[in-house]
Amino acid sequence: MKSFLASAALVLLAACATTGDDGPVTSAPPALAPDPRIGEMQTSLTELLERIDVLNDRIARLEETRSAPAPVTVAERPAPVERALPSERPAPPQPSAPVQSPSAAAAPAQGSAQPAVVSANLAEAYRKAIMLYGRNNLAEARREFQQVFDTDPTGDLADNALFWIGETYYAASDYTNAMRYYARVWNEYSDQNKAPDALFKTALAQEKTGDLALARKTLQQVIARYPYSSPASTAKQELQRIKY
């Protein structure tokens, strides 16, 4: 009995010593509860992918419908060729219309095609001039714009050509000549699309030359004459900037 009690005491002491060295035994932390928002996001993502699949399927079916050949209707089918019976006589030939000479027939077509060719050439020359201006080839661009204007001074590109001639001078800091061409635009082509821009650029050129009073007056003219144009909106901002 004494030996049993001694053994139990030794075991109890060993347990106490182990607990003191390793510290108190702690229980494992409780598991975190899953965030419900993650599940909602996964559900929304799945629904979105399903909608994309449905849309892709609809697009594929529409493309198949468009690429499929249209069915031939009865009206589009070629009529059967009927053979003439031996007893039938061919119809007498109808008098034909007088044949015109090739030159007479081609004359109206050539006359109608000529304006289209001229317009195409002008558009190409105008595009070339714009590209030259973009590359800062100001003198060459000015010649091209002048050629466009001289070819058709009453056409749709006339006011554009004059405006861009003024722009070449403005870019070269030649504000006197720039204002001269701008003035031609808003005086001679006041109802064309480049007139508001030309009047606004006149005000900017006047600012560059130091005449702020005249520039303010010109900006007010832009607003009064072309109130619904984009240059009028910009003129209001510029007028506030140089007001004092």
Establish if 163 belongs to a structural domain: yes
Q: How far apart are CA 225 and CA 216, in angstroms?
A: 14
Pick the closest to residue 200 from 210, 180, 215 (CA basis): 215
Establish if 48 belongs to a structural domain: no
Q: What CATH number corresponds to the domain at position 174?
A: 1.25.40.10
Q: In the chain, how many domains are there? A: 1
Establish if 219 belongs to a structural domain: yes
pLDDT tens, position by position, 106-123: 455 555 556 666 688 899
Q: Which amino acid is at 226?
A: Y
pLDDT of residue 207 exceeding 90, the answer is yes
Residues spanned by the domain of 133: 118-241
pLDDT of residue 129 exceeding 90, the answer is yes
SS3 174: coil
Residues 6+ apart with CB under 8 A from 214: 206
Establish if 50 belongs to a structural domain: no
Residue 243 binned pLDDT confidence (cut-offs 50, 70, 90): confident
Establish if 211 belongs to a structural domain: yes
Establish if 72 belongs to a structural domain: no
By mean pLDDT, which of 7-11, 63-67, 237-241 is the weakest? 7-11
Establish if 61 belongs to a structural domain: no
Establish if 187 belongs to a structural domain: yes
